[in-house]
């Protein structure tokens, strides 16, 4: 999965790469997105995705909830685009101690969790089952409890520097996490496979085996969150890409 703002054209040859998924971040309708993401404006995104196949990733912030019908307007617009396979939704995820206009209240999260599954029935491209939506209300409390954090290794732009303790970096407030993949895995881990066996049991077993094999190969030190009792080494300097625009 490659996540991009869509500020430059997506190479057409990427569509031929097996299991390759391109995700374009579109944070709201133009009134919000174009200010936040400039120069990756709506006009530029639509030009750069033409003829490609993408997923759209949408981060919902509190100002978007001020207008009735905003959520449906967004989903309707991107569902109508032939380039879009699916629409993923996340909620704004703040850092610890953050007080910002974007941060959703608990009431906001409940409201979104109730509205989105209803929208999916009208717009099938929107990927938000009931269980996933309601996982937004009760997210994993820390990276060690988050399956996505434990299953993923995230890198900065140099493809070497790791982003810890999860894809957000820094000190994320896990109690207010709105990550779409984290919420989906947090929901699905309790789904039954057969008898008492649940998805989470298989995932934890797989993680244990993978960590053991990685330790035997000794090719690379695994993230601290994969090692029971270990503490994070703290944030590292990340790579900054300078724009010529």
pTM score, whole prediction: 0.81
Q: Report how far residue 139's alpha carbon sits from residue 154's, in angstroms, rounded to the nearest whole number.
A: 20
Q: Looking at residue 185, what is its pLDDT?
A: 87
**128 burial via Cβ count (<10 Å: 0-12, 13-18, 19+):** buried
Block residue for tokens 């709105």: 178
User: Cα dist. 142→68, 97, 150, 173 in Å?
Assistant: 33, 15, 11, 8
Q: Are 88 and 57 in contact (CB under 8 A)?
A: yes
Q: Is 56 helix (H, G, I), strand (E, B) or coil?
A: strand
Tokens coding 192: 């039954």
Q: Report how far residue 65's alpha carbon sits from residue 78's, in angstroms, rounded to the nearest whole number.
A: 18
CB count within 10 Å of CB 6 equals 24
Q: Looking at residue 5, what is its pLDDT?
A: 95
**Residue % of the chain over a pLDDT of 90:** 54
Residue 118 scores a pLDDT above 50: yes
Residue ranges covered by each domain of the chain = 2-226
Residue 235 scores a pLDDT above 60: no
Q: Looking at residue 232, what is its pLDDT?
A: 47
Residue 119 scores a pLDDT above 70: yes
Q: Are 237 and 161 in contact (CB under 8 A)?
A: yes
pLDDT for 203-234, tens place per residue? 888 877 877 776 776 666 666 655 554 444 44
pLDDT for 61-101, tens place per residue? 999 999 999 999 999 999 999 999 999 999 999 999 999 99
Q: Report how far residue 56's alpha carbon sits from residue 33's, in angstroms, rounded to the nearest whole number.
A: 13
């Amino acid at each position: 999965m490659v996540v991009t703002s869509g500020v430059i054209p997506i190479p057409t040859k990427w569509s031929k790469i097996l299991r390759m998924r391109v995700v374009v971040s579109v944070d709201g309708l133009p009134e919000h997105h174009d200010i936040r993401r400039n120069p990756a404006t709506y006009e530029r995104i639509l030009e750069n995705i033409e003829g490609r196949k993408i997923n759209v990733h949408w981060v919902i912030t509190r100002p978007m909830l001020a207008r009735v019908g905003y959520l449906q307007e967004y989903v309707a617009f991107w569902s109508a685009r032939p380039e879009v396979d699916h629409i993923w939704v996340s909620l704004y995820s703040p850092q610890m101690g953050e007080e910002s206009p974007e941060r959703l209240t608990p009431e906001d999260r409940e409201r979104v969790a109730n509205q989105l599954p209803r929208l999916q029935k009208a717009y099938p491209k929107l990927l938000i089952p009931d269980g996933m939506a309601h996982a937004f209300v009760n997210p994993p409390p820390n990276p060690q409890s988050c399956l996505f954090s434990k299953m993923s290794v995230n890198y900065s732009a140099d493809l070497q520097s790791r982003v810890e303790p999860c894809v957000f970096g820094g000190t994320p407030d896990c109690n207010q996490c709105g990550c779409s993949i984290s919420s989906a895995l947090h929901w699905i881990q309790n789904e039954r496979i057969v008898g008492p066996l649940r998805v989470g049991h298989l995932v934890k077993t797989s993680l244990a085996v993978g960590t053991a094999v990685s330790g035997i190969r000794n090719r690379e030190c695994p993230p601290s969150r994969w090692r029971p009792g270990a503490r994070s080494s703290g944030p590292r300097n990340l790579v900054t890409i300078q724009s010529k625009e």
